[in-house]
Structure 1
Amino acid sequence: MSRILILHASVGTGHKTAARALARAFELRGAAQVWCEDALDYGPSIYRQFYVNSYIELSEKAPVLWSYFYERSDRDDTKLTKDLRTLMDRFGVAELDELVDRCRPDAIVCTHFLPVNMLGREKRKGRLPQPLYCIVTDYNGHVFWVNSYADRYFVASPKAAFMLAQRGVHPSIISVTGIPIDPAIAEPKDREITQHKHHIARSPVVTLMGGGIDVDTMRQMTVGLIEEMGEGSLMVVAGRNEELEAALRDLHGTPKVDLRVLGFVDYLDDLVAASDLVVTKAGGLIVSEVMARHTPMVVVEPIPGQEEWNADHIVCAGAGLQVRLPEMVPLLVHNLLADPARLQALREGAQREGQPRAAFTVAEQILHEIS
């Protein structure tokens, strides 16, 4: 019976979501004990604040600067990359070693590069006998994920595998599995039955996800979709963004378009399964979840760097379309809904690309390797 320590970092929600999905998969596959921990909890609070806030400030409020940083740091031989690695080594998660000693896991699984690099240092010094596994949670292979002491990488796509190999990772330790998502998504759901379950009476169904999109942009897209859809149901998910939910509450549908504004819901997967089309940002986890349900996507406003890679992957896979200007979303949605053949082609692309069993695949391979 195996003991598994899963480490993520609370920079956005995707890394934590992947970690929880893996924890569930390990439990379902018989692991004796599974821990799921935020690596940033095991270091100085000032480091955590700096790390999280700098990412948010750059990626959301200064995307051009973030793009420059992302591209400049995606080379292992630059001074910027070396300085950042040194910073992580010196001021990072100092108490992580104590966590490992306390848990005594048989394997350590990381869904963020920060704990990979921190624990890779310990392996280099001969102080970490456990195998160290790295789960890349986007559709690229940025150099920050690369560590000479990682025992295996699990990546989303052949392109990501190629990128890691170009950065010196031996192909024999790269497994293309898809990004781990909630194992429950591997269970099929009928679209019409799911619509009936949630009292969604009108078709087609479009779900607009508000995560990472500012209030004004969301309101603009919602108003435009109500006007352009013609008929159907528009489900707008504000999540935990109470400001966004409040800003949309005064909007109403039409005699032919039902509008439903939702806050945080625990049935997001049902909405994806019930939808003919999903409009969303291009986070690695959410796009993987949508493709696993074979639902076409319109990706809007990708953050420079990893979201651009994710969005490009979706388009190249034929699973969705990308729009950089939110103003164009309503017209694109209208055109897609009016073209069933094109929508079906995107659905088939999502079906080809989706990996609903990715969490199980990763868990099964790791358990096999350490058994």
Structure 2
Amino acid sequence: MVRYPDSHQPKVLILYASYGEGHLQAAKAIRDALEEQGNNRTVMVDLMAESHPWLNEMTRRVYLKSYTHIPHLYGWVYDVTRPMKHNSLFGGFLHSFGRDKIRKLLQKEKPDAVIHTFPFFALPDLHRRRPKKTVLPQASIPTYTVITDFDLHRRWVHPGIGRYFVATEDMKQELGSLGIHPGRVSVSGIPLARGFRSSLTPSFELYEKYGLSPEQPVILLMPGAQGVMPDCDELCRHLLEQHPNAQIALICGRNNVLKSSMADQFKHHAAADRLHLYGYVNQVHELMALSTCLVSKPGGVTLAEAICAGLPLFLYKPVPGQEKNNARYLQSKGAASIANDPEEMAAAIIKLVNDPEQLKLSEAAVQRLQTEGAAADNIAHHILLECGWNAKFGQRYS
């Protein structure tokens, strides 16, 4: 091995999209893991935002509106397009976005590897479509895809992708049924923030930090970064009134309206001292370490966080599309319960919290979905190794 200066470290380009928080969180987790393994040449690009800013903003708004106001339409579109192939008319159209930006990025950054945390596959599509006499910069650049859900939409599947990192063995087998060689699929789990990469033991100081009591069970509610899970007020009321000791930790995220509304509604409630409201929480792994179970919308990254923390899941009114499919998958594994009524959901939560034997079984079902090692670390190590980089010694193989 020959020692190289930092400028000769492999450069890694991570392409993500800002449709929801999960794709960005996964990208940041991989970037941080690369840095921790001694590689400081990671470039992150929101491909759609940088290549088509106006269209990106419009489609993001349409996505959020359809997702929250007309979810059945969103689900119908998701299900109809789920079996589409990369070379179909619509598939080719989707993968065309960012093609010019990719050309410029290759010329400017000269990356040694490209990672996708969102299925805009302009780069592999560009390589496949180029005329034989056309030479592209780094035409053989290794490409990787990190699938951030527990459900496989065919939009993630492209023959130009060199390796897939997936959440479960089931997804690996599904990719195999679609013609992807098993040797090109790694069951890594979904990459998570640094706090989830090591175990955290609950301490008195940690309970005190969040104003919680170690003597009472903690039910964690995470309606999403934008606070979009409905009926939070009704669910909290049922939980507080039906369980005399349970504490509720409600993370409102960036939804200040939700936080203010909940504070107003419960300020005179007899059990108001057991409802704890938080805004956006950066160290969410700390609250998860203190919690007995999690109530949430079934976004891929949130589910992966709960699985890492070993928390039984309660999924409320999952939106049709990838989230409903995520929820059904975890339910089939015994790791989650689904409900569409706040009273029904509260009853299921209280039943589990009050039944130590069933709680252990639910925790065991969640633990069976855990992967060995931290996903972000495993992905970073694998990519650096394939680039010939020895992270332990800060050296590159010659």
SS in 1 for 2:307: helix
CA distance in 2, matches of 1:276, 1:192: 15
Counterpart position of 1:286: 302
Residues in 1 aligned to 2:356 and 2:288: alpha-carbon distance in whole angstroms: 18
Contact kept? 1:272, 1:295, Cα under 8 Å: yes
Shift of 1:68: 1.7
Of structures 1 and 2, the one scoring higher in RCO (CA 8 A, sep 6+) is: 2
Using structure 1 for the length normalisation, give the TM-score. Answer: 0.92
- Please tell me whether residue 370 in structure 1 is matched to residue 387 in structure 2: yes
Q: Is the 8 A contact 2:223 2:296 kept in 1?
A: yes
1:353 aligns to what SS in structure 2? coil
Q: Aligned residue pairs: how many?
A: 367
TM superposition shift of 1:206: 0.8
* Structure 1 residues 111-122: aligned runs within 5 Å: 111-114=117-120, 117-122=121-126
Which residue, out of 194, 207, 218, partners 1:205? 218
- 1:123 matched residue in structure 2: 127
Structure 2 unaligned residues grouped into runs of 5+: 1-8, 389-398
1:54 match: 62
Residue 178 of structure 1 is matched in structure 2 by 189
Task: Please say if residues 290 and 296 of structure 1, whose CA atoms lie closer than 8 Å, have aligned partners that are also in contact.
Answer: yes
Q: 1:366 and 1:215 mapped to 2: Cα distance?
A: 36
Change (3 A) 1:96 1:369: same
Q: Quickly say closer, same or farther: Cα 1:168–1:54, change in 2 above 3 A.
A: farther
Give 2:207's aligned residue: 195
Partner AA of 1:311 in structure 2:
A
Question: What secondary structure does 2:14 align onto?
Answer: strand
Aligned to 2:100, what secondary structure does the other structure show? coil
**Deviation of residue 328 (structure 1)?**
1.8
The structure carrying a bigger helix percent of its residues is 1
Partner SS state of residue 246, structure 1: helix
- Which residue of 1 is the match for residue 324 of structure 2? 308
Say if 2:93 is the partner of 1:87: yes
TM-score w.r.t. the length of structure 2 is: 0.86
Using the aligned pairs only, state the percent identity: 26
Whether the 8 Å CA contact 1:298–1:321 is kept in 2: the answer is yes
- Structure 1, residues 185-228: CA drift from partner, whole Å, max 9, x if none? 12111134432443311411111112165476112212222112
Alpha carbons 2:192, 2:376 under 8 Å: kept: yes
Q: Which residue of 1 aligns with 2:259?
A: 245
Indicate the residue corresponding to 1:235 in structure 2.
249
The aligned amino acid for 2:364 is E
Distance 1:261 1:255 in 2: 13
Check 1:82–1:345 CA distance in 2 against 1; reply closer, same or farther (3 A cut).
Answer: same
Q: Partner amino acid for 1:88? A: L
Change (3 A) 1:255 1:60: closer
Change (3 A) 1:342 1:364: same
2: distance between equivalents of 1:216 and 1:157?
A: 29
Structure of larger gyration radius = 2
Partner residue in 2 for 1:20: 28
Q: Say whether the 8 Å CA contact 1:276–1:295 is kept in structure 2.
A: yes
Shift, 1:91, TM fit: 4.8
**C-alpha distance in structure 2 between counterparts of 1:148 and 1:222, whole Å:** 47
Does the 8 A contact of 2:68 with 2:228 survive in 1?
A: no
